[in-house]
Structure 1
Amino acid sequence: MALTNWPKPMRRMRTVVGWELSAVMARICNGLGIYRCPNREDGGGFYLMLKSINWAS
């Protein structure tokens, strides 16, 4: 079953799975953190991994 076709009761679980997979990706790729961009259409999200962080000047 594709992630976009999950029934309504499982949508919260989809968010949890997204965070868990993002954590695994950050650990494997030595990421510094994950940012989740909200998606208003279906309550899902777009996850971005941060590889470097610097102060803006």
Structure 2
Amino acid sequence: MLGKKLVMRGSVLFGWDNTTDKIVSFHSQADMITPMLNLLGNLKDVSCVFSKARITPECKFV
């Protein structure tokens, strides 16, 4: 996997406070399963990669 490029689709939702004109929250989400499956070729290997990872398949850090 080293040196490989993953292209992920995702979204970011910003919460805006009209009173202060500032961002007060954000929520990000991305699909890592599909590009990992394309790279590795099977769900067993994808599962193995995420079993001890510091990031979830939804792209959340743990």
Please give the TM-score of this superposition, normalised by the length of structure 2: 0.33
Q: Whose helix fraction is larger, Structure 1's or Structure 2's?
A: 1
Larger gyration radius, structure 1 or structure 2: 2
Q: Whose strand fraction is larger, Structure 1's or Structure 2's?
A: 2
Please give the TM-score of this superposition, normalised by the length of structure 1: 0.35
